[in-house]
């Protein structure tokens, strides 16, 4: 073979070798792409659903295709399947289905999350139906035959009892060739956190994990919680947004690993900022390297209750059947093994009723232990002194609110009721009742939540300033006014009470500042504003 022929052979072999490398590289690249994005896995049981809904509701299918469910082959029928004897079931295209997907349905796969959520404050959010909040929506802002404010307002966050249209015999009204049950329009659609479902479960998982993509990044983002935790009576999202935590989050969202599959651990997967989920639900690593697992019981790490008129520290009693009850630190704790009567709200005949259930005490978790769990998350970013001093500042604000305003105001209201000035069954008959309501339910909560989440403007100007202003200028005068409506003698009694209260040291400033303090203020204004 000539030298030239040898060169052609070498060239040809080199070309074939390079070509084979390209072919191998292509196949490797293709396999990698297929492994990264295999596309949705559609089980045979859901093929018909997907095929039909691509035409009827294509965006819904597209969202499902983006989900982790689709990757793992969890399809429509896995979640929407029903038993023929379920109240909400109907036979659709030959199979029994339900539009309602409840926490009990999700528990088929997510057992741990279901068990934790079921005993949480979130699951009990629907109990607002028996509270003054709901009375205001149905009565003050409604009509006897129109409670649209409650339906569109309160129930969309808190949840409603999912009711069915019924005929005169009490049977569920069904319609169409598929015999579909008719759900009462004022109770559905509803994705309220504490929705009361026909299968006895409480809650709605998609209140946080929005269907049908169920994206982790959405449930981890503070905006998700802000759907409900906002507004004049519980402005957590507004407070978070003004806090150092919120500012750091929005500046560093791209560093938060919000899209990470599986566990999302502070101190391992991200560090830029905490979100609502970080502090109240998610996993974290302590500075000692101890892993604290996540929990769908959102109140597990909360040591104060900031909701009622007067805040108390919260101990937790866990019963043998898993039921949990918060015990304020003013209430004596039971002993382990003791049988205690508990009050549980359940749905009977599509109405919310209270039942007394005796239960065996299994475990006590003190408010100090709950606080230590929350501190575990804080200590991931801050040192002990910082965390301890924060809690000292927070505690002092709550105690200030309690002692200067909440306790005296509640005592005044209790005395007005005892004297027959206020009727127990007329909660908003007099101005003093409206003022008192906003004093604790709006302004007092804003102050307490502001301190708890390091929102200074909400703590003071939207909180304690308004508490003080309305306590002095509206609440106390309104108490005298209500008493005057009863009798002259009652008016005199409450004028005397108010005068005695204002004579206390903490209210002495109302009569004027100390001369030195007053002159110091005048000097400051002259120096700053030349006035």
Question: What average pLDDT does the segment 240-251 reach?
Answer: 98
Residue 2, pLDDT score: 63
Whether 420 and 505 share a structural domain: yes
Residue 33, pLDDT score: 44
- Which percentage of the chain shows pLDDT scores above 90? 84
Rounded Cα–Cα distance for residues 522 and 528 (Å): 10
402-445 tens-digit pLDDT: 999 999 999 999 999 999 999 999 999 999 999 999 999 999 99
456-467 tens-digit pLDDT: 999 999 999 999
Whether 367 and 220 share a structural domain: yes
Radius of gyration of the chain (CA): 30
Residue 35, pLDDT score: 47
Residue at which a domain ends, from 378, 401, 425: 378
Whether 374 and 399 share a structural domain: no
Whether 253 and 111 share a structural domain: no
Is 7 within the bounds of a domain?
no
Residue 274, pLDDT score: 96
Domain that holds residue 147: 47-207
Residue 137, pLDDT score: 95
Is 99 within the bounds of a domain?
yes
Whether 417 and 512 share a structural domain: yes
Is 27 within the bounds of a domain?
no
Residue at which a domain ends, from 378, 408, 426: 378
Residue at which a domain ends, from 359, 378, 397: 378
Question: What average pLDDT does the segment 304-327 reach?
Answer: 97
Is 31 within the bounds of a domain?
no
Is 21 within the bounds of a domain?
no
Q: What is the mean pLDDT of the chain?
A: 92
356-403 tens-digit pLDDT: 999 999 999 999 999 999 999 999 999 999 999 999 999 999 999 999
Residue 25, pLDDT score: 53
Question: Under 8 Å CB-to-CB from 43, ≥6 apart: which residues?
Answer: 73, 75, 77, 78
Is 421 within the bounds of a domain?
yes
Whether 413 and 522 share a structural domain: yes
- Minimal CA–CA distance to 485: which of 422, 409, 417? 422
Rounded Cα–Cα distance for residues 461 and 7 (Å): 88
Question: What average pLDDT does the segment 447-455 reach?
Answer: 98
Whether 238 and 361 share a structural domain: yes
Question: Under 8 Å CB-to-CB from 250, ≥6 apart: which residues?
Answer: 241
Predicted confidence band of residue 9 (pLDDT cuts 50, 70, 90): low
Rounded Cα–Cα distance for residues 81 and 233 (Å): 39
Whether 248 and 197 share a structural domain: no
Whether 364 and 391 share a structural domain: no
Which one-letter DSSP state was computed for residue 390?
H
Q: Which helix (H) or strand (E) holds 266?
A: strand 265-266
Question: What average pLDDT does the segment 96-118 reach?
Answer: 95
Whether 371 and 460 share a structural domain: no
Predicted confidence band of residue 34 (pLDDT cuts 50, 70, 90): very low
Is 393 within the bounds of a domain?
yes
Whether 367 and 410 share a structural domain: no
160-169 tens-digit pLDDT: 999 999 999 9
Whether 434 and 498 share a structural domain: yes
Is 84 within the bounds of a domain?
yes
Handedness of CA 96, 99, 105, 108 (dihedral sign): positive
- Minimal CA–CA distance to 192: which of 262, 107, 134? 134
- pLDDT at 21 > cutoff 70: no
Which one-letter DSSP state was computed for residue 156?
H
Rounded Cα–Cα distance for residues 264 and 272 (Å): 13
Give how many domains the chain has, as a whole number.
3
The DSSP line for 38-58 is ------HHHHHHHHHHHHHSH
The rounded Cα 424 to chain-centroid distance in angstroms is 31
């Amino acid at each position: 073979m000539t030298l030239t022929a040898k060169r052609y052979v070498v060239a040809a072999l080199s070309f074939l070798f390079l070509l084979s490398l390209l072919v191998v590289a292509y196949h490797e690249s293709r396999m990698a792409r297929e492994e990264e994005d295999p596309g949705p896995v559609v089980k045979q049981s859901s093929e018909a659903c997907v095929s039909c809904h691509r035409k009827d509701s294509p965006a819904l299918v597209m969202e499902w295709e983006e989900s982790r469910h689709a990757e793992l082959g969890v399809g429509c029928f896995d979640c929407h399947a029903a038993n023929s004897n379920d109240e909400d079931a109907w036979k659709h295209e030959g199979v029994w289905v339900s539009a309602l997907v409840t926490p009990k349905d999700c528990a088929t796969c997510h057992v741990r999350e279901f068990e934790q959520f079921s005993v949480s404050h979130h699951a009990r959010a629907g109990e607002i139906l028996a509270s003054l909040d709901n009375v205001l929506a149905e009565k003050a802002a409604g009509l006897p035959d129109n409670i649209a404010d409650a339906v569109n307002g309160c129930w969309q966050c808190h949840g409603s009892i999912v009711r069915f249209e019924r005929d005169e015999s009490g049977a569920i009204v069904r319609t169409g060739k598929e015999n579909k049950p008719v759900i009462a329009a004022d109770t559905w659609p509803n994705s309220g956190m504490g929705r009361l479902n026909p299968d006895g479960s409480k809650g709605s998982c998609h209140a946080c994990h929005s269907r049908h993509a169920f994206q982790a990044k959405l449930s981890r983002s503070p905006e998700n919680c802000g759907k409900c935790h906002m507004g004049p009576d519980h402005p957590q999202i507004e407070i978070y947004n003004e806090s150092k935590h919120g500012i750091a989050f929005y500046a560093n969202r791209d560093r938060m690993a919000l899209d990470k599959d599986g566990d999302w651990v502070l101190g391992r997967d991200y560090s830029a900022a905490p979100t609502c989920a970080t502090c109240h639900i998610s996993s974290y690593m302590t500075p000692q390297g101890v892993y604290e697992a996540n929990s769908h019981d959102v109140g597990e790490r909360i040591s104060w209750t900031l909701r009622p008129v007067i805040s108390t520290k919260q101990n937790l009693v866990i019963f043998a059947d898993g039921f949990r009850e918060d015990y304020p630190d003013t209430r004596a704790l039971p002993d382990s093994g003791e049988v205690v009567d508990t009050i549980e709200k359940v749905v009977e005949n599509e109405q919310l009723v209270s039942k007394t259930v005796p239960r065996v005490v299994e475990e006590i978790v003190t408010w100090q232990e709950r606080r230590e769990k929350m501190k575990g998350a804080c200590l991931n970013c801050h040192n002990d002194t910082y965390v301890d001093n924060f809690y000292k500042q927070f505690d002092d604000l709550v105690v200030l609110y309690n002692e200067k305003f909440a306790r005296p105001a509640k005592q005044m209201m209790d005395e007005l009721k005892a004297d027959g000035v206020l009727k127990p069954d007329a909660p908003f008959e007099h101005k003093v009742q409206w003022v008192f309501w906003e004093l604790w339910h709006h302004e007092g909560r804003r102050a307490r939540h502001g301190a708890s989440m390091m929102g200074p403007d909400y703590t003071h100007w939207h909180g304690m300033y308004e508490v003080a202003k309305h306590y002095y200028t509206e609440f106390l005068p309104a108490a005298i006014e209500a008493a005057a409506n009863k009798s002259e003698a009652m008016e005199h009694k409450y004028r005397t009470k108010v005068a005695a209260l204002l004579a206390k040291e903490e209210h002495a400033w109302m009569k004027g500042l100390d001369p030195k303090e007053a002159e110091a203020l005048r000097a400051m204004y002259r120096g700053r504003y030349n006035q």
